[in-house]
Structure 1
Amino acid sequence: MLIFLSLIWGSSFILIKRGLEFFSPGEVGAYRIVAAATFLLPLSLPRFKNLNKTQLINLIIVGMVGSFIPAFLFAKAQTQLSSSLAGVINALTPLAVVVIGAAFFGSKITKRNGIGLAIAFIGVFILVTAKEGSGLDAFTGINAYALFVILACVCYGFNLNIIKYRFVTLKPVEITAISLLLVLPLALVYLIFGTDFSYKVANIPGALTALGYVTLLGVMGTALALILFNVMVKRVTPVFASSVTYLIPIVAIMWGVMDGEILLWGHYLGIAAVILGVWFGNRKKA
């Protein structure tokens, strides 16, 4: 399950890249939500009527910060950021969970968390400034689109903390399915009335293939992956489950290299720093 989940989530970035070949970032983000929410309708609709007002409000927030906003942010980022580097920066999510928990939910941030966070952000800085050249000339200029990925990680940090502290009775799969259902109308309205999505699908050669990639992204990368992760969490230790964080960038890099993306020596240095920082920051003290 760990390997399968790593392959699914690690492949999400190349699927976004394929979708962007024909669709705008907004269209990719919105349709990803539509595909995921539609696939989970058999789970969400029967449970929707049993929710109270407080649960509905929290689930709308979860739907926005856990799925809707990140879907748009990742698509926007990858208009100017390679899929492999987006996958690496996404590894900051566990550290974002720690920081958001400490800042807004009363949890504690340890010295180890802080050191790991510092190392990881040094790695991100290296990633977004690396370019062809030698010496310090290889680290000039900043790819600001990496900030969209970092912001998505912050959204995930809020999402996981809200789920942890504000939901007691609902199961994780129910939270995922219903939260997607609640943001589905917004995604549909934007897709139908705010974009040329329908025209592209009907008239542009090759758009249907891109649509298939984004459908796969929504169904596999959002819906099925979250269900699989929840099942795995129940069967193994949290430490084992969290190791998916380190495998996702590897898969993303493999896809990127096979697709012709070029990684410079500075990128490899940044990748190593990010993974080291995330590993150290989440490692339990012996």
Structure 2
Amino acid sequence: MKNINIKWLYLVILSVIWGSSFILIKKALIGLTPFQIGSLRNVLTGIILLIFGYNSLKSIKKTQWKWIAISGFLGSFFPAFLFAIAETEIDSSITSILNSLVPLNTILMGAAVFKIASTKRQVIGVIIGFIGTALLILKGAEINPNQNYLYASFIIISTLMYAANVNIIKRYLQDVKPLTIAAGNYVFIIIPAFVVLLFTDFFSSETFNSETIWNAIICVAILSIFGTALAKVLFNKLIQISTPVFATSVTYLMPIVALIWGLLDGENFTPLQGIATLIILAGVYIANRKKV
């Protein structure tokens, strides 16, 4: 009973944190390039997690380091760049909606690759949630006809990476502490991220003489501390105390938070999007309610 309540608490907290991440990326893009955002986000997150989790790394078994590395690149390194690139052409709220493909990909990949079974109820719930997501995408495209939806491919690729990462953690890293997984990820990520940052001219004198860029850096710092470092630890824990489908259903709640931020930032919100949001919530409930 305790785990049931805790997992829902984690789900809500992660929805708020990650749902707010998209507007932070949007604001950061005003002063920084996508590659600067992605690399700086990875570097700052790595510093934070290694400070707090370095001592726990010795508990990782030799056979687990391979999966820690793969998890890091699929779950953090590449998506940080792909999401920033996508938001150069697509609204933050639409980006969060596209991210809702993660649960569907998690079920399909879990069954096909990792042999992790899902119940019929979970599949139905995911399909219902996906229908709600499709309605949101269609309405978003109608409201924003000038956006380049080819950039949606960057988000779709990210959802496949996230799905693989969730299944890897559930299958191979179930007994590793959440903070240890997150810190271990950045053992492999932080150096490549720093190299990318060097090649973006981030450390030039012009970068630090602009108030706009400083505001963007602050957005990335907030994103790194809460949207990546803290959220990764909470998400890893959520995967371990629930199921891959439940953990990834956070991506069905994130668009609701992102749409609220988008509304406050001047983006449109229609009654059909409200209906689609309710459909998404219904899908989450069906996929995760206990069998009576």
**Pairing 1:24-173 to 2, within 5 Å after superposition:** 24-49=33-58, 51-130=60-139, 131-132=141-142, 143-173=149-179
Structure 2 match to 1:210: 216
User: Which residue number in structure 2 is paired with residue 178 of structure 1?
Assistant: 184
Q: Secondary structure at the match of 2:115?
A: coil
Percent identity reads 40
Separation in structure 2 between the aligned mates of residue 139 and residue 120 of structure 1, nearest angstrom: 24
CA RMSD of the aligned region, Å?
3.2
Q: Give TM-score scaled by structure 1 length.
A: 0.82
Stretches of structure 2 lacking an aligned partner (at least 5 in a row): 1-8
Which shows bigger deviation, 27-36 or 267-276? 267-276
The residue aligned with 1:187 is 193
- Cα separation, 2, equivalents of 1:34 and 1:140: 34
Note the alpha carbon deviations across 1:189-219, whole angstroms, 9 max, x for none. 01112x1222353243310110010011011
Q: Partner amino acid for 1:94?
A: P
Partner of 2:21: 12
Whether 1:259 and 2:265 are equivalent positions in the alignment is: yes
8 Å Cα contact 1:128/1:142 also seen in 2: no
> What corresponds to 2:201 in structure 1?
196
| TM-score computed with the length of structure 2 as normaliser | 0.81
Q: CA deviation at 1:117?
A: 4.2
Letter in 2 for 1:97: T
Partner SS, residue 12 of structure 1: helix
What amino acid maps onto 1:10 in structure 2? G
In structure 2, how many angstroms separate the alpha carbons of the residues matched to 1:60 and 1:227? 16
Aligned equivalents of 1:26, 1:231: Cα separation in 2: 29
* Alpha carbons of structure 1 residues 212 and 257: separation in structure 2 relative to 1, 3 Å: same
Partner of 2:211: helix, strand, or coil? coil
Indicate the larger mover: 140-149 or 37-46.
140-149
Matched residue of 2:149: which SS?
coil
Structure 1 CA distance, aligned partners of 2:290 and 2:102?
Answer: 17
Shift of 1:51: 4.3
Secondary structure of the structure 1 residue equivalent to 2:183: helix
What are the ranges of 5 or more consecutive residues in structure 1 without an aligned counterpart? none
Q: Distance in 2 between matches of 1:106 and 1:213?
A: 39
Preserved contact between residue 88 and residue 271 of structure 1 (Cα < 8 Å)? no
Query: Aligned equivalents of 1:159 and 1:206: distance in 2?
Result: 35
Supply the AA of the counterpart residue of 2:100: A
Aligned residue number for residue 5 of structure 2: none
Structure 1 position 232, deviation (Å): 6.8
